[in-house]
Structure 1
């Protein structure tokens, strides 16, 4: 494992981007079943290869920009909410749910014929303090079940994939010391998946993690966990590998790990792709980044169980990398001025 500093979880959004204030609400939206639609750009090429989507992460704070919205409409077939469906955004106070930004994301997606990857239901980060302070296993079980039922249930019939449980492992393959694991052991995963299945039976249910891109303890632990979950009859459909990468750093190892995850029998998705470049950004590094994007997109194309790929944002102008890794820059397919980069061309060509 080459990371001196790990990729922060779930896209690493330690502070959600600013967005318009919303009024807490519990009124459900009318369900409509999402389905793939004819799209141009990257998504059309991915579908031509028998995959389900080529997607991006966004939220009202980014797709509110007309240039970003236009790119999403033209290029991407799926959207993942960057922050608006996380626990702190949807239930910051116990039993008080706020779906303003999540509803806006879902409405944008459905209006424009995009699939939605729900992200994420149970995660140790961006977790309200009231959840972290629970000290009863039975109480936490009830809280997980209620949160998942309410959030997943609100969008029943609209979500294609749900990242039900996110980032459960440390780098050495041990379980993360979260409130969920401390009180419930790995059974918290079973509880969350069963609640999600009950809330939205037709959504595909995923476990998602970062640094599954290299052989070692973490991916081995994930594969072992998947085997246990399947043996217990947990309703799990897929595994997401985030693919937050660094240009030029052993990315040739990624295809083998995608195949290893596919060998579990689950669907595989590349869920949060970005390939950051150490400053100063040079033409040579941009060329390397382009090569690396081609490597991982082709790996998905070449793996039958890989259903799709999502880049974690539209343009370099709005990326979590800027604030989290200030020594890095330029991780995405479009530059600060929303122009296509060499990485865009290479990702596109990888699907030819």
Structure 2
């Protein structure tokens, strides 16, 4: 049997020694939402403003998209970044550190250092973790994409990877993005650029879910994609695929929309309807990668109207999730413009997160906070009304 080497040395002790943050426990959220008591000091924390059982998350920056930037890994070296991450959020998603090129850089070697540090940080700060991602067409290591493997070898490689990675974090990761971006915008499977589907056929997607479930039966297993916020050809394809897989008994638990939005375009007004139809299939739903980019003026400073519109997009996305019973996980793709991926990939666009590079809060931050507060109040009123025998009319 081929021997596998693991790299598990801790990245930085400082990343794991922040004070504990009071908030939701690291276990998965309960089925219902009830309002948690809030102190005045906690009111400005998104995680404390939220209804109980509703997790508010952020991607954890650190490599990949940032390799060409002139700063080191933010999670390891930026103490202020970690402090805000711990205080504000009850969920974290590794932006790149669990993708294949980071965690499995060589055929016979796994490097768990960055992922381990994030999972330990989350446990220390009573946060849940979203694992991202197991089967994807992008950010695969060179050894995999350019290797000369038989179909049997490729299948064994994927199975071993999923079993090893999911198994390592069994009981520590709440949700996994098992299959990421497997359809194009026309609703066609990526049969050319996705090595797994191209070489092994569409059935490999079902196998990935089965292997992940076997490695950690408690983790919730998701499809995840962009441009599926509304009802369109792409989300229709997922809706049809999920129904087929459920009929086969494949352990699919959830469907998530990434939410990489731009003020260039109108807001997807049918977001709630789209989430609701997946909810009707018995799936959990989630928003997993929300940011709202914009075209910046020559000054580089957005106008008040641009900030208002951005805040509206953030708020409407959160409201749509809150309106769907099974949508209990809401993640923004980074919280500070200091480490945003957007300017690297969208020339001329930026200012996409809820805090500036100096960690100043934007109107978008307060829109999220106030929306969460209102949802918590409504849930509290509903809970008390039910306790006293009064329902909503």
Structure 1 runs of 4+ off > 3 angstroms? 36-40
Please give the alpha-carbon distance, in whole angstroms, between the structure 1 residues aligned to 2:50 and 2:165: 29
Matches for 1:1-352 after TM superposition, within 5 Å: 24-25=6-7, 34-35=26-27, 40=42, 41-48=45-52, 50-51=53-54, 53-59=55-61, 61-64=73-76, 65-132=78-145, 133-176=147-190, 177=192, 178-247=194-263, 249-251=265-267, 252-280=269-297, 281-351=302-372, 352=374
1:174 deviates by 0.4
Q: What secondary structure, in the 3-state scheme, does the structure 1 residue paired with 2:330 have?
A: strand
1:43 deviates by 1.7
1:340 deviates by 0.9
Query: Contact 1:57–1:80 (CA<8 Å) still a contact in 2?
Result: yes
Please give the alpha-carbon distance, in whole angstroms, between the structure 2 residues aligned to 1:149 and 1:36: 21
Please give the alpha-carbon distance, in whole angstroms, between the structure 1 residues aligned to 2:28 and 2:244: 32
1:26 deviates by 6.1
Query: Contact 1:24–1:100 (CA<8 Å) still a contact in 2?
Result: no
Please give the alpha-carbon distance, in whole angstroms, between the structure 2 residues aligned to 1:125 and 1:81: 16
1:119 deviates by 0.6
Please give the alpha-carbon distance, in whole angstroms, between the structure 2 residues aligned to 1:26 and 1:347: 37
Cα RMSD (Å):
2.1
Please give the alpha-carbon distance, in whole angstroms, between the structure 2 residues aligned to 1:206 and 1:279: 34
Q: What secondary structure, in the 3-state scheme, does the structure 1 residue paired with 2:57 have?
A: strand
Give a deviation string over 1:229-251, Cα, whole Å, max 9, x none. Answer: 11111111111110000126221
1:44 deviates by 2.3
1:27 deviates by 8.9
Query: Contact 1:135–1:183 (CA<8 Å) still a contact in 2?
Result: no
How has the CA–CA distance of structure 1 residues 24 and 79 changed in structure 2, closer, same or farther, with 3 Å as cutoff?
same
Please give the alpha-carbon distance, in whole angstroms, between the structure 2 residues aligned to 1:44 and 1:156: 27
Q: What secondary structure, in the 3-state scheme, does the structure 1 residue paired with 2:50 have?
A: helix
1:135 deviates by 4.6
Give a deviation string over 1:269-289, Cα, whole Å, max 9, x none. Answer: 100000101112221111100
Please give the alpha-carbon distance, in whole angstroms, between the structure 1 residues aligned to 2:256 and 2:324: 14
Choose 1 or 2 for highest CA Rg: 2
How has the CA–CA distance of structure 1 residues 59 and 104 changed in structure 2, closer, same or farther, with 3 Å as cutoff?
farther
Give a deviation string over 1:152-208, Cα, whole Å, max 9, x none. Answer: 111111111111111100110000121111122221111111111111111111111
Where does structure 2 lack aligned partners over 5 or more consecutive residues?
A: 11-24, 30-35, 63-72, 375-393
1:262 deviates by 2.2
Please give the alpha-carbon distance, in whole angstroms, between the structure 1 residues aligned to 2:9 and 2:367: 44
Where does structure 1 lack aligned partners over 5 or more consecutive residues?
A: 1-22
TM-score (norm 2): 0.78
How has the CA–CA distance of structure 1 residues 194 and 146 changed in structure 2, closer, same or farther, with 3 Å as cutoff?
same
1:59 deviates by 4.1
